[in-house]
Amino acid sequence: MSSVRVGEDGIARCGWADSDPEYRRYHDEEWGTALHGDRALFEKMSLEGFQAGLSWITILRKRPRFREVFAGFDPAVVAAFGPDDIERLMGDAGIIRNRAKIEATISNSRLMLDLEPGELDALLWSFAPAQHRPPATFAEVPATTPESEAMSKALRTRGFRFVGPTTMYALMQSAGMVDDHVAGCWRARR
């Protein structure tokens, strides 16, 4: 795959973003844009956890249903989910039916209730590197960084699950904590 592709619309994007209209929209409007707010970051963290081992396009296509069945990722609502809810979610083909990931999302929501407002936002953003050189090519994009490893460790220490360093680096990319738009992409920082 080329690091940059020019789409039918004449716009140069990161190569992965030109394979599907939903990817193009996500790339152009969301990926790498600073995301703040506990609930928004909790959703992002949860969806990145569900993505582990799968392609992100699968998650994007299922995101509306995820939002519906997880009550908009409202931690107070999800924290009240019990065994019947887990079985209901396991039977829903509109989401990723992985019991460990479903249970982790519910468990993580309960941990969210122990945090002060703004605490998850502050915690996650505290790991954003002060300096980050955008990559020239895909070959320069890491799977993990010391910051994503530290973020993962801090979350796991608090009891969060499905927050490994690779998953947390993906969150850092998608939430705009790092800019990994490759050189030549219209969204790459100059």
Query: Each residue of 118-146: pLDDT tens digit?
Result: 999 999 999 999 888 889 898 999 999 99
Task: Compute the CA torsion angle 71, 66, 90, 114 (nearest 10 deg).
Answer: -50
Q: Note whether 129 and 173 are within 8 A (CB).
A: no
Residue 36 labelled as part of a binding site:
no
Q: Measure the CA–CA gap between 142 and 167, rounded to whole angstroms.
A: 12
Domains located in the chain, CATH noted? 38-175 (1.10.340.30)
Dmax (CA) for the chain in angstroms is 51
Question: Which one has a higher pLDDT value, 19 or 86?
Answer: 86
In this structure, which amino acid lies at residue 56?
W
Provide the pLDDT for residue 176.
96
**119 appears as a binding residue in the annotation:** no
Mean pLDDT of 39-54: 96
Residue 20 has pLDDT above 70, yes or no: yes
Residue 178 clears pLDDT 90, i.e. is over it: yes
DSSP per-residue string spanning 29-62:
HTTTS----HHHHHHHHHHHHHHTTS-HHHHHHH
Q: What does the pLDDT read at residue 190?
A: 54
Q: What is the pLDDT of residue 87?
A: 98
Mean per-residue pLDDT over the chain, rounded = 95
Specify whether the CB–CB gap between 170 and 162 falls below 8 A.
no
How many angstroms separate the CA atoms of 117 and 138, rounded?
Answer: 36
Residues with catalytic function: 26, 48, 56
**CA 25 to chain CA centroid, nearest Å:** 16
**Local confidence band at 47 (pLDDT 50, 70, 90 cut-offs):** very high
The H-or-E segment that residue 166 falls in is helix 165-174
132 is in an annotated binding site: no
